[in-house]
Amino acid sequence: MIILSIETSCDDTGITIMEATGGIKNTSFKVLAHTSNSQIKQHIPYGGVVPMLAKREHLKNLPILLEKTLKEAKRNLSLNLIAVTYGPGLEPALWTGITFAQELAKKWKVPIIPVNHMEGHILSVFGKVEGKFSIKLSDYEFPMLALLVSGGHTQLVLIKKWLDYEILGETLDDAVGEAFDKVARMLGLPYPGGPEISRLAEIARKIPLLRGGSKRRGGKKSTSPATAGTPQEENFHLPRPMFYIKDFNFSFSGLKTAVLYLIRKIGKLDKTTKSQIALEFEKAAVECLIYKTKKAIEEYKIKTVIVGGGVAANKYLRSEMKKITGRNIKLLFPTQELSGDNSLMIGIAGYLQYMKNKGKIPSPSSIKADGGLKL
């Protein structure tokens, strides 16, 4: 079956064409064409994604990417299925993909399968942007746990059965990626902030003195710069919200506000201080994710852990996840290209859902954007 998938939930436009074979327990994919177009440059001046601007860009990009993918895949009208993201995400942006899919479905007389973007992020760990890949269910043990970390979501999802999801916990306020973006903005770094914070944190990590080499007063971390005026000896400490709350929820808004107060207290930020703040923020945010993930692994006797979403690209998160999973738990990450939003993961999820729900395909005109769609 030839499947064309479309992603337009936020600021990335993507179209992928894959050949899919097999059932849901043993599926093989061959990537025929994979394209994406990031709108980051357009949104940078606004410090974040502007929904109406995203819509305009998707409308402009979709026909261009379609032509490119069809040419690359060397196929014109022999497609069998269209998969399109219908939520969660920015509704004006989602609608552009849905309307585009509906027009193509009418023209080519093919069914449309609506896809949950978050399911896409979960399944992205199995994908590759080139060549062939397969998902053989007997290779993985259940229960699985998915940590979904993006600009819009922070969720811990329990998967006891293939393609069946139970949300154990989620953020009560900001998503972790959103917190990275907002803190980056406070530090005067460009959007998207995650990679920028990570880059600065790496710099600070490499210089031992910046890693809190100062003597901690009373053996405790201070909540403010320990020695103002000598940046190398400053030692910041930010809170780890929700550590002592027994559920699996997260909260990043307090952490973000703590950074704001810290910055106000310091006043003028030099490069060294910025790196130190970035390092402590990254540590605090990742520790929050790790703490609850570890708790869920223990409580549900998890055998396989999946990390998906834009923040899954974070190197520190990756190394800390390796520490808590050890040898007995299989740990799956998407490739760097598939960590962020992409249409390939939508194709995987679309095909698997199509196989699962055979015969129960909604009529193309009934598909609607749902910005707050749950897993």
Q: Contact positions toward ligand KG4, by CB under 6 A?
A: 10, 150-152, 177-178, 180-181, 192-195, 198, 309-311, 313-314, 340-341
Q: Does 282 bind Zn ion (CB under 5 A)?
A: no
Q: Does 154 bind Zn ion (CB under 5 A)?
A: no
* Residue 305 or 307 with smaller CB distance to ligand KG4: 307
CB of 179 to ligand KG4, least distance (A): 8
Give the residue, chosen from 150, 249, 276, 304, that forms a contact with Zn ion under the rule CB under 5 A. 150
CB of 340 to ligand KG4, least distance (A): 3
- C-alpha distance from residue 89 to each of 9, 117, 234, 267, 298 (Å): 5, 8, 40, 36, 32
Name the binder of 87 from ligand KG4, Zn ion, none, CB < 5-8 A by kind. Answer: none
* Residue 116 or 150 with smaller CB distance to Zn ion: 150
Give the three-class secondary structure for 322: helix
* Residue 70 or 156 with smaller CB distance to ligand KG4: 156
Which residues, 49 to 78, sit near Zn ion by CB under 5 A? none
Q: Please, are residues 279 and 207 in contact by the beta-carbon 8 Å criterion?
A: no
Q: Does 116 bind Zn ion (CB under 5 A)?
A: no
* Residue 169 or 310 with smaller CB distance to ligand KG4: 310
CB of 186 to ligand KG4, least distance (A): 14
CB of 356 to Zn ion, least distance (A): 22
CB of 178 to ligand KG4, least distance (A): 6
Name the binder of 91 from Zn ion, ligand KG4, none, CB < 5-8 A by kind. Answer: none
CB of 152 to Zn ion, least distance (A): 7
CB of 39 to Zn ion, least distance (A): 14
Name the binder of 280 from Zn ion, ligand KG4, none, CB < 5-8 A by kind. Answer: none
* Residue 117 or 292 with smaller CB distance to Zn ion: 117
- C-alpha distance from residue 287 to each of 56, 96, 135, 292 (Å): 38, 37, 31, 9
Q: Does 11 bind Zn ion (CB under 5 A)?
A: no
Q: HEC states along the chain?
A: CEEEEEECCCCEEEEEEEEEEEECCEEEEEEEEEEEEECHHHHHHHCCCCHHHHHHHHHHHHHHHHHHHHHHHCCCCCCCEEEEEEECCCHHHHHHHHHHHHHHHHHHCCCEEEEEHHHHHHHHHHCCCCCEEEEEHHHCCCCEEEEEECCCCEEEEEEEECCEEEEEEEECCCCHHHHHHHHHHHCCCCCCHHHHHHHHHHHHHHCHHHCCCCCCHHHCCCCCCCCCCCHHHCCCCCCCCCCCCCCCCECCHHHHHHHHHHHHHHCCCCHHHHHHHHHHHHHHHHHHHHHHHHHHHHHHCCCEEEEECHHHHCHHHHHHHHHHHCCCCEEECCCHHHHCCCCHHHHHHHHHHHHHCCCCCCCHHHCCCCCCCCC
Name the binder of 169 from ligand KG4, Zn ion, none, CB < 5-8 A by kind. Answer: none
CB of 312 to ligand KG4, least distance (A): 8
Q: Please, are residues 210 and 182 in contact by the beta-carbon 8 Å criterion?
A: no
Name the binder of 193 from ligand KG4, Zn ion, none, CB < 5-8 A by kind. Answer: ligand KG4
* Residue 121 or 292 with smaller CB distance to ligand KG4: 121
Q: Does 273 bind Zn ion (CB under 5 A)?
A: no
Q: How many CA atoms lie within 13 A of 259 on its CB side?
A: 31
Region of 126-134, 149-157, 185-193, 361-369 interacting with Zn ion (CB under 5 A): 149-157
CB of 342 to Zn ion, least distance (A): 9
Name the binder of 196 from Zn ion, ligand KG4, none, CB < 5-8 A by kind. Answer: none
Backbone torsions φ then ψ of 203, nearest 5 degrees: -60, -45
* Residue 110 or 259 with smaller CB distance to ligand KG4: 259
* Residue 241 or 340 with smaller CB distance to Zn ion: 340
Give the residue, chosen from 35, 341, 343, 373, that forms a contact with Zn ion under the rule CB under 5 A. 341
> Which residues bind to Zn ion, rule: CB under 5 A?
150, 341
